[in-house]
Amino acid sequence: GDSVTQMEGPVTLSEEAFLTINCTYTATGYPSLFWYVQYPGEGLQLLLKATKADDKGSNKGFEATYRKETTSFHLEKGSVQVSDSAVYFCALGPYGQNFVFGPGTRLSVLP
């Protein structure tokens, strides 16, 4: 079945460091890909999305590119802030089916 794999956390960075969180997927068909963020005590918020190969999603300084050849959707940010500390989930949405989430990667940014 469809699945999502993410790099294990926690990831701890200093403020203004470069961030990469790896995400790879297996899916039949042509899914859309998403990154969601979950702050403590809250639900999931959509961070960015890409609906087809080579699309780049971006929001709030975060970027991810849909790479069909490597089945990846890695999340990047050039300069993280303390306020970016959260759990990040990669997800795929097979056409017309329920979303499949990865296990999440916890990010802690130190001042």
Partner 1 sequence: DAGVTQSPTHLIKTRGQQVTLRCSPKSGHDTVSWYQQALGQGPQFIFQYYEEEERQRGNFPDRFSGHQFPNYSSELNVNALLLGDSALYLCASTAWGDWGINQPQHFGDGTRLSIL
8 A C-beta contact, residue 110 and residue 15: yes
Closer to partner 1 by CB, 17 or 44: give it. 44
Selected from 21, 25, 27, 34, the binder of partner 1 by CB under 8 A is: 34
**CA-based nearest residue to 72, from 58, 87, 54, 60:** 54
Sort 65 into a burial class: Cβ within 10 Å, 0-12 / 13-18 / 19+.
middle
Interactions with partner 1, residue window 66-105 (CB under 8 A): 89, 91, 93-104
Region of 18-26, 46-54, 65-73, 78-86 interacting with partner 1 (CB under 8 A): 46-54
Closer to partner 1 by CB, 42 or 69: give it. 42
**Signed CA dihedral, 74, 66, 34, 16: sign only:** positive
Selected from 32, 58, 65, 71, the binder of partner 1 by CB under 8 A is: 32
Size of the site for partner 1 (CB under 8 A): 27
Q: Nearest distance from residue 106's CB to partner 1, in Å?
A: 9
**CA-based nearest residue to 91, from 16, 2, 15:** 2
